[in-house]
């Protein structure tokens, strides 16, 4: 009797199956981003050195610090410093803030005509009082006509160069004055390439918990462009949970990466279906902090300024690691790279990752008792031609200072 032997399995059949991506690449206009992750703009934090560090660890869209449209149009040196990009940045993403459609349009035109950006993001999420009291940031979408005009001006100015425009917003002014669904539909209709939602109101600031169900509702309302979720993303597992809960097309990370640029490696792995996570020991953390300081010194062209800039990052980098209070204090007061090196040399560079103590919430967690708004701002959705509201908007455009994102 002849026996037929089964064919031996091929090497490929014996190999473990390749992980399946959790999300497809993120498409923003002409740009296809393999890892659907965006670095949220944070004033004084997400400058070119920090973006470079994050890019070295992972992939995604790394957006500039917020710059005011008026300052850019007036060509202030600081505004051009803010829109300078780190080597290798692609796409080159700039976030703009403004309340006057003509000024926002002019700023976008400048960016595209002078080849300073491949992608423009509009800030409608900033909850800071000096922005909202003038009708900007998270306050602006309440005035639906003004919101429409600002978005339209930006999209129109960017279109000839094929540069996509996106918007980042909050759920509203407060729980009684939500704006995100209407604003999302308007932005989609006006031709934006994506909509990002920080699932908190301006009144919440950074307190409490982000309402991820709002992201799910926005995803249901906005159907033709990507919807990105933001809020309470402190780990790769948080990102996976947000995607599973909301169906969002990508995630926007802010405070979660403070002192942890390697979070972008975790996010890239997680969204690709890979369980690998970074758990750096203190030696790696110290080396990253030192490199960050060096990049800041080079960026500012001033050792003292660069060292002062790194100070605010020290507590974030060292969160959970065995570093004494006196040494932490010294690190937070360094004036030179030599002082930084001396202090870092005193760390136990053999210490491993401390586990949960190094994870979790970081950055601001406070709320605000009342959102600062122009007088009568919430009376209706229309924009009056005269009065306190009109005066506040005019004052906002006269201000050429930048502030934090949302």
CB-facing half-sphere around the CA of 270: CA atoms within 13 A: 23
CB-facing half-sphere around the CA of 352: CA atoms within 13 A: 3
Q: How far apart are CA 46 and CA 62, in angstroms?
A: 8
Nearest C-alpha neighbor of 131 from the set 372, 370, 366, 364: 372
Q: What angle do CA 186, 248, 226 make, to 5 degrees?
A: 45
How, if at all, do strands 37-39 and 26-28 pair? unpaired
Q: Which residues are catalytic?
A: 126
């Amino acid at each position: 009797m002849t026996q037929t032997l089964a064919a031996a399995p091929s090497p490929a059949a014996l190999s473990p199956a390749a992980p399946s991506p959790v999300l497809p690449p993120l498409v923003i206009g002409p740009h296809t981003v393999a890892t659907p992750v965006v670095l949220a703009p944070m004033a004084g934090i997400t400058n070119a050195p920090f973006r470079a560090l994050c890019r070295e660890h992972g992939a995604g869209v790394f957006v500039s610090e917020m710059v005011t449209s008026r300052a850019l149009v007036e060509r202030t040196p600081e505004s051009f410093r803010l829109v300078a990009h780190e080597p290798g940045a692609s796409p080159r993403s700039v976030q703009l803030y403004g309340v006057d459609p003509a000024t926002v349009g002019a700023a976008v035109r400048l960016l595209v005509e002078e080849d300073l950006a491949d992608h423009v993001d509009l800030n409608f999420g900033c909850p800071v009082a000096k922005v909202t009291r003038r009708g900007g940031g998270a306050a602006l979408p309440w005035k639906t006509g003004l919101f429409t005009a600002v978005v339209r001006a930006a999209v129109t100015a960017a279109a000839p160069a094929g540069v996509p425009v996106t918007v980042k917003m909050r759920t509203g002014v407060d729980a009684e004055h939500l704006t995100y669904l209407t604003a999302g539909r308007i932005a989609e209709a006006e031709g934006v390439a994506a909509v990002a939602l920080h699932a908190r109101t301006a009144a919440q600031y950074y307190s409490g918990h982000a309402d991820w169900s709002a992201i799910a509702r926005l995803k249901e309302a906005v159907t033709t462009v990507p919807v990105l979720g933001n809020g309470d993303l402190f780990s790769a597992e948080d990102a996976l949970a947000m995607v599973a809960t909301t169906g969002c097309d990508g995630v926007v990370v802010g405070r979660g990466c403070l002192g942890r640029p390697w979070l972008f490696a975790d996010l890239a792995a997680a969204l690709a279906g890979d369980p690998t996570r970074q758990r750096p020991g203190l030696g790696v953390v110290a080396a990253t902090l030192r490199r960050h300081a060096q990049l800041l010194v080079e960026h500012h062209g001033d050792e003292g300024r660069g060292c002062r800039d790194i100070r605010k990052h020290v507590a974030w980098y060292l969160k959970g690691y065995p570093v004494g209070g006196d040494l932490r204090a010294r690190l937070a007061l360094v004036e030179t790279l030599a002082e930084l090196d001396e202090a870092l040399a005193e760390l136990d560079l053999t210490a491993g990752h401390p586990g949960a103590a190094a994870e979790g919430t970081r950055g601001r967690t406070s709320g605000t008792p009342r959102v600062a708004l122009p007088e009568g701002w919430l009376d209706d959705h229309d924009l009056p031609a005269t009065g306190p509201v009109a005066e506040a908007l005019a004052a906002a455009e006269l201000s050429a200072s930048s502030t934090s994102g949302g």
